[in-house]
Amino acid sequence: MAKAKTQFVCQNCGTVHTRWAGKCDGCGEWNTIVEDDPMGGIGGGPGKTPKKGRAVALTTLSGETEEAPRVQTGISELDRVTGGGFVRGSAVLVGGDPGIGKSTLLMQAAAALSRRGHRIIYVSGEEAVAQVRLRAQRLGAANTDVLLAAETNVEDILATLAEGKRPDLVIIDSIQTLWSDTADSAPGTVTQVRTGVQAMIRFAKQTGAAMVLVGHVTKEGQIAGPRVVEHMVDAVLYFEGDRGHHYRILRTVKNRFGPTDEIGVFEMSDKGLREVSNPSELFLGERNAKAPGAAVFAGMEGTRPVLVEVQALVAPTSLGTPRRAVVGWDSARLSMILAVLEAHCGVKLGQHDVYLNVAGGYRITEPAADVAVAAALVSSLANVPLPSERVYFGEVSLSGAVRPVSQTAQRLKEAEKLGFSSAMLPASSAEIPKGGKKGSSEIEGLPDLVVEIAGSARKLGKGQEED
């Protein structure tokens, strides 16, 4: 029989090593590697007799499900992100930077649910009861029937939850404070967090209560005990935002019961988070339409169109290597657009610094923004403002061709709603209204865009000469 080899596993990132080391190559953490039985006890090693299994009843896919399987908060930005409310018996992880507003959001959700007659239990491990009460007063949630506990021990929390009527929703703020008697490592370690979360998930599945777990993102941008709980829960939501701005975005990263590309937009005020039902107005708020280097991108976030301004500044460089700085977009993607402009459009940017910014601190993840970025860059280089009533979208390929993107009709509709009468879009877009839109240009490649902007620069130049 082959000898079972021992292996060493990092408790922080899960990297498997063949020998023990002080530092993990995978994540760079110290003292996180421990010896592990590769069989994990499954199948039993020598000396272990497997216990005789108990047959479970097999069932069919169709069958009775509890009616109203979701608890809706009535906060529509939150309900959209969860896919229509929190699912009973499921566990949702809400992650985000410390201080971003997770406790505020969940206290507001708890209050809203409680007003709808649900039994809500809020377990705070980070703040004392007095602090939570103070926040609740500020949010106007103090007069609701939300039940509050300040506790961190897993067994005590479970005993508390088991008492009385089954809660509809339980909020654990946060998982990093949980500790269990059964795990012998210190609170806050991966083992403790994992054990605590497992116990909470088990409670949710057994009782049918919805469980919301709050987790702080560590400096690497992952939820502490990096990724150790993401796979265990049913849905993962990230609460993001820029500290310099008031608004916050709740984004779905994983959802077993709904779409994963939805966002909810909120604004932090002195009375808590306020829903923003029309984010485009917010992101276009302080727009100066006459400035060169600004292009409005008609984007999509899941099922919802969002208009944002892309700003570029192209200036001759005084350095040997020109600077490229990007906020709110992928810097590798910017390099690609610059290369395509150089190679296929004759736009030379090798001697220029390039700065790119997405207005309002918003982050674009769609490749459809390529055309808007290129338009902003060329507009800044040529020092001509783009038409103020125009939106831009389309994906650029390395050959310089502009490829169609999805949901063209919805993008155009949102643009029209906000007073943008024309668009620059890929020529081969399906779903374009017949005959195209008045004043719109359908482009096949990036050179078309450059020609058009250069054309308006010439016209503008002539106009100025005549003046």
The site for Mg ion, by CB under 5 A, has a size of 1
Q: Which of 17, 70, 115, 138 binds ligand TYD (CB under 6 A)?
A: 138
Q: Does 268 bind ligand TYD (CB under 6 A)?
A: yes
Residue 97, H or E segment: none
| Burial of 164: CB neighbours in 10 Å, binned 0-12, 13-18, 19+ | exposed
Q: Does 28 bind ligand TYD (CB under 6 A)?
A: no
Least separation in angstroms between CB 91 and Mg ion? 18
Binding track, positions 298-337, relative to ligand TYD; x by CB under 6 A: ----------------------------------------
Q: Which of 163, 270, 286, 467 binds ligand TYD (CB under 6 A)?
A: 270
Nearer to Mg ion, 103 or 191 (CB): 103
Give the integer Cα–Cα distance in Å for 139 and 395.
Answer: 43
Nearer to Mg ion, 138 or 324 (CB): 138
| Burial of 174: CB neighbours in 10 Å, binned 0-12, 13-18, 19+ | buried
The secondary structure of 258-306, three-state, reads CCCCCEEEEEEECCEEEECCCHHHHHCCCCCCCCCCEEEEEEEECCEEE
Q: How many residues are there in the chain?
A: 467
Residue 233: DSSP 8-state = S
Cβ atoms of 235 and 256 within 8 Å: the answer is yes
Least separation in angstroms between CB 134 and ligand TYD? 9
Cβ-based neighbours of 399, under 8 Å, separated by 6 or more: 344, 445
End-to-end CA gap in the chain = 94
Q: Which does 104 bind (CB under 5 to 8 A by kind): ligand TYD, Mg ion, none?
A: ligand TYD
Rounded to the nearest 10 degrees, the angle between the axes of helix 154-162 and helix 190-207 is: 10
Among 113-121, 181-189, 265-273, 394-402, the segment contacting ligand TYD (CB under 6 A): 265-273
Q: Which does 429 bind (CB under 5 to 8 A by kind): ligand TYD, Mg ion, none?
A: none
Binding track, positions 45-84, relative to Mg ion; x by CB under 5 A: ----------------------------------------
Q: Which does 304 bind (CB under 5 to 8 A by kind): ligand TYD, Mg ion, none?
A: none
Nearer to ligand TYD, 88 or 216 (CB): 216
Footprint on residues 333-372 left by ligand TYD (CB under 6 A): none
Least separation in angstroms between CB 236 and ligand TYD? 15
DSSP-derived pairing of the beta strands 390-392 and 422-426: parallel
Nearer to Mg ion, 103 or 311 (CB): 103
Q: Sign of the CA dihedral 322, 327, 331, 335? A: negative
Q: Which does 271 bind (CB under 5 to 8 A by kind): ligand TYD, Mg ion, none?
A: ligand TYD
Least separation in angstroms between CB 412 and ligand TYD? 36
Picking from 134, 161, 149, 145, the residue whose alpha carbon sits closest to that of residue 112 is 145
Q: Which residue is nearest to Mg ion (CB)?
A: 103
Least separation in angstroms between CB 174 and Mg ion? 7
Q: Does 271 bind ligand TYD (CB under 6 A)?
A: yes
Q: Does 460 bind ligand TYD (CB under 6 A)?
A: no
Give the integer Cα–Cα distance in Å for 210 and 92.
Answer: 8
Footprint on residues 95-124 left by Mg ion (CB under 5 A): 103
Alpha-carbon distances of 2 from 35, 46, 181, 338, rounded to whole Å: 19, 12, 36, 57
Footprint on residues 78-137 left by ligand TYD (CB under 6 A): 96, 98-104, 135
Q: Which does 386 bind (CB under 5 to 8 A by kind): Mg ion, ligand TYD, none?
A: none
Q: Which does 100 bind (CB under 5 to 8 A by kind): Mg ion, ligand TYD, none?
A: ligand TYD
DSSP string, 371-395: HHHHHHHHHHHHT-PPPTTEEE--E
How many beta carbons lie within 10 A of that of residue 252, not counting itself?
22
Q: Which does 138 bind (CB under 5 to 8 A by kind): ligand TYD, Mg ion, none?
A: ligand TYD
Residue 7, H or E segment: strand 7-10
Alpha-carbon distances of 114 from 47, 119, 167, rounded to whole Å: 53, 6, 11
Least separation in angstroms between CB 167 and ligand TYD? 21
Q: Which does 99 bind (CB under 5 to 8 A by kind): ligand TYD, Mg ion, none?
A: ligand TYD
Nearer to ligand TYD, 131 or 399 (CB): 131
Cβ-based neighbours of 15, under 8 Å, separated by 6 or more: 9, 24, 25, 26, 27
Least separation in angstroms between CB 23 and ligand TYD? 30
Residues interacting with ligand TYD, by CB under 6 A? 96, 98-104, 135, 138-139, 268, 270-272
